[in-house]
Amino acid sequence: MSETWERLKPTIERLRTTRNCTVAEAQLALIEACSQGEIRTIWLGYYDPPCPLIPKMDWIGADIDLYNDRIVKADGKRMAYVGFSRDDLEGWLTLSAPAETPSALPQAEATRQVEKSSGDELALLTTAKGRAQWAIAEIRKDPSVDVDKMSSTVLTDKVCKLLKSRGVTVADLPSQSTVERADRRRP
């Protein structure tokens, strides 16, 4: 039996509709799943079959250029014609989808759920940019950390780890570009 591989844009659209989230949130969730090996990927643009699998490490620090249908690896190299295992994607969506996620609920209900779980300023933040700004402010409180000297990738990683520790779901984490916009002190 032959495995089916799905292209980037349909994969993002399926994530967006299944999880009822933004495109940026779907991209971040897909990168996270691929970097952890939960969804296998291949390079469909390879000239000699069989197409090689893309290593998990290539997804660490990667970004998605959806407009040009490309993956941008951490080293800046772009990869077109990426295929995602349809079986892995369906299994991951089934296993990783909570019964109800805050992004699938009306905004007021999502805010109430976060308020119940964390009980701090994070409870009032319902946008990815707001959550990123809150997390950056929290990170800046640590005198041993110099946020201004961090790369955007490292800062995004720290922001996402902090937010995850506060119960924010992967689909509700800010993307790297959102973290960059949220950090007003960056040039």
Give the type of residue at 91: G
Q: What angle do CA 41, 62, 69 make, to 5 degrees?
A: 65
Encoded tokens for 112: 């109430």
Give pTM, 2 decimals. Answer: 0.53
Mean pLDDT (the chain, rounded): 78
The yes-or-no verdict on residue 50 having pLDDT over 90 is: no
Q: Look-up: residue for tokens 């349909």?
A: 10
DSSP 8-state class, residue 177? H
Q: Which helix (H) or strand (E) holds 86?
A: helix 86-96
Q: Look-up: residue for tokens 């991209």?
A: 27
In tens, the pLDDT along 53-79 reads: 899 999 988 899 888 888 988 888 888
